[in-house]
Chains A and B, each alone.
Chain A
């Protein structure tokens, strides 16, 4: 389905995004890029899995962008903890990493919540396509990459 259709209808306004990455500079870039797509996207940031879990307790987002290699609680540990969490997981998860190992892709099949992989760097086009897929919830299958 074309992302332009959603774009034009302004469907992204008010979208709540949680972005989990240990790189503070990258989080700034992600927020700037998302807000370029739509000024009204609500972007919350977490520096590791532990902080992300605390954020989720507070409020449930529409989409989670997740890095794998992080201190304290890495991406996989975060996902395991998520399954044990009290709240319902109603949001799709997108893995965003600077290097996607085939082993990581295999690993990801264990988590039905993972809908997408994105490899860094990110840019306007890549993120917009990703959002279109995730919001439309059409990328059920793990391994749909948006890398352009």
Chain B
């Protein structure tokens, strides 16, 4: 029921109605009600005079826009409504019921409520005239004093005997607290009334209680006898009881007795406990699953997060000054620029959708307060107003960083394995080809030797082929070891000059044989962090390639040098031989099994291995070459 905003107008209307209806004038004069009020049927508003608020313990000046509902025991809302309905359907007749209020100070205030339907047209009820009359036993000291001050006397215009009034209060209590134990007890601890047992004294009434509980109850009764009220709970065994103790004042202002209502709330408690427990479980589950809830109000562009969601972001509600966060601020501080267009598009689609069951699942990154980039999975749907317009998006977000990281590491592993498989497949093809070639040669040579056992050329060719086969098998081992080694090594400081000197020394015979001039311009303190076995292999391959393929009749010079480099250490191996046609062969150069020169010495493994070893150390290799001018291999080891 709404309070009237047009208070003065309603008050004037009330006075006018009383003037116009002599039956109401007579009632007011004879019954002297404690307050008068008016209900406007069409507007469904009511005007309650300041006398009513005085009854409830308020002063005249603070009565504004209050409603009666918070003071009326909820069970009596229905009584009031049925009373109004009677007045509406039967105008021109008085109806009355007792309503039980609780005043500002907690004391019980039973009031007789009288209504009278007023019809201005003579047919339908337009206004309801109302009045409250105090019932003697429920007047609090303060209300009594205020009422006296205002009225100049204490109203006693009751038309019911006191015992009936008491019964009405007790009935009212039964109605408000169904199934409860209701009794009255006097300040000398005598039971004046009980709706259950026939106990005479306080001790008898509470014989079931243990000492401690008994003391608690006694203390609270004393509080009531002194004018206060009390509410508390007691547990005896598995029984939970809720106590409400109200003081009942005599007209003179002293406490006549205390009204005690005891409810058995065991079942209720069990439900509450179960609910609390399941809430606690839910909270733990959402915390463990890192699930946060959110709502986005489309009109204002403001998010409402739950605490868990805010925790996922790595902050606390204090950081945002509560649970409400403007979408712009959230995006600015927590979203990544690359993901914003996708999220904006999702929001746009959600606003524009016609689909009644619209629901989306998206994954995106966010910047945790610690600076770490983490992942969120968001599942959301839309909420519409009565016109079907989307007013909110509501969703649950889950931190899926661990899952994402596991997926990524799995993907890396799969990529690495696929890469390794592809290399091994290519390699086994080449190896099988090489073995088959050598075996084919051996078969053919044995045929030829059968016919010409003395042919020494065939014998020499058998020996060459056997050596070739041996080299192939060595390569298989080398590549298998290389595959096993990747990732299983640790880096150490390697002095490149020492490594290069060792590689040159290993090729000493060939260098001398071919009369090669090797010039090295790399200082003794040039160092890199690398896998020692790889770096030895890299320089051995590059140097022996230059010796084998980089010299001709015109040039026997090989230079190893160093260039200034911001990324790390840049070393080059340069020859001035035939050079390569990079347009034709550049792409293939580092592929497995591709040989750049004729003859039996190469099997297409060296540069492939070199490239992979350098890349395994986060370095890079590239080649520069020109036909008839020479070739230069460049390597950068990143620092």
A116 to B437, CA, bound (A): 19
Asked whether, in the complex, the Cβ of A70 is within 8 Å of the Cβ of B433, the reply is no
CA distance A26 to B434 in the complex (A): 12
The stretch of B457-465, B486-494, B516-524 in contact with A is B457-465
Among listed B49-57, B127-135, B438-446, B612-620, interface-contacting one = B438-446
Assess whether B594 is in contact with A98, with CB atoms less than 8 Å apart. no
Interface check B88, CB cutoff 8 A: no
Which residues of B have CB within 8 Å of A36? 451
Closest to B593 in A: A69
Q: Which residues of B contact A28 (CB under 8 A)?
A: 457, 461
User: Contact residues of A with B, CB < 8 Å?
Assistant: 22-26, 28-29, 32-33, 36, 47-48, 51, 69-72, 98-99, 120-124
Question: Restricting to B342-400, which residues have a CB under 8 Å from any CB of A?
Answer: none
Residues of B within 8 A of A23 (CB): 437, 441, 600
- A121 and B600 in contact (CB under 8 A), knowing A25-B461, A28-B457, A69-B433? no
Residues of A within 8 A of B593 (CB): 69
Q: Does B420 contact A (CB under 8 A)?
A: no
Number of interface residues, chain B, beta carbon within 8 A: 31
| A121–B598 touching, CB < 8 Å | no
Bound CA span A32–B444, Å: 10
B595 within 8 A of A: yes
Using A25-B465, A28-B457, A33-B448 as known contacts, list a sample of 14 further A-B pairs with CB atoms less than 8 Å apart, ordered by residue number in A.
A22-B595, A25-B464, A25-B468, A36-B451, A71-B594, A72-B596, A98-B437, A98-B440, A120-B437, A120-B440, A121-B439, A121-B441, A121-B443, A123-B443
Q: Which residues of chain A are near B604, meaning CB under 8 Å?
A: 71
Interface residues in B300-337 by Cβ distance below 8 A to A read: none
Binding site for A on B (CB under 8 A): 429, 432-433, 436-437, 439-441, 443-445, 447-448, 451, 457-458, 461, 464-465, 468, 585, 593-600, 602, 604
A residues in contact with B596, CB < 8 Å = 71-72
Q: Min CB distance, B114 to chain A, in Å?
A: 106
List, in ascending order, chain A residues with CB within 8 A of B468's CB. Answer: 25
B600 surroundings in chain A (CB, below 8 A): 22-25
Question: With A26-B440, A26-B441, A70-B598 in contact, is A98–B433 under 8 Å at CB?
Answer: yes
| Chain B residues with CB below 8 A from A69, complex form | 433, 593
Distance between Cα atoms of A124 and B429 in the complex (Å)? 28
B598 contacts A47, CB within 8 Å? yes
Chain A residues near B457 (CB, 8 Å)?
A: 28
Contacts of A47 in B (CB 8 A): 598-599
Question: Would you give the shortest CB distance from A25 to chain B, in whole angstroms?
Answer: 5
Q: Report the bound CA distance from A29 to B455 in whole Å.
A: 12
Residue pair A121, B433 in contact (C-beta under 8 Å): no
Known contacts A25-B465, A99-B432; A33 and B444 CB within 8 A of each other: yes
Q: Bound complex: CA of A24 vs CA of B512, how far in Å?
A: 25
Contacts of B598 in A (CB 8 A): 22, 47-48, 51, 70-72
Give the residue of A22, A51, A70, A122 whose beta carbon is less than 8 angstroms from that of B444: A122
Q: Is the Cβ of A120 less than 8 Å from the Cβ of B436?
A: yes
Q: Are B444 and A121 in contact (CB under 8 A)?
A: yes
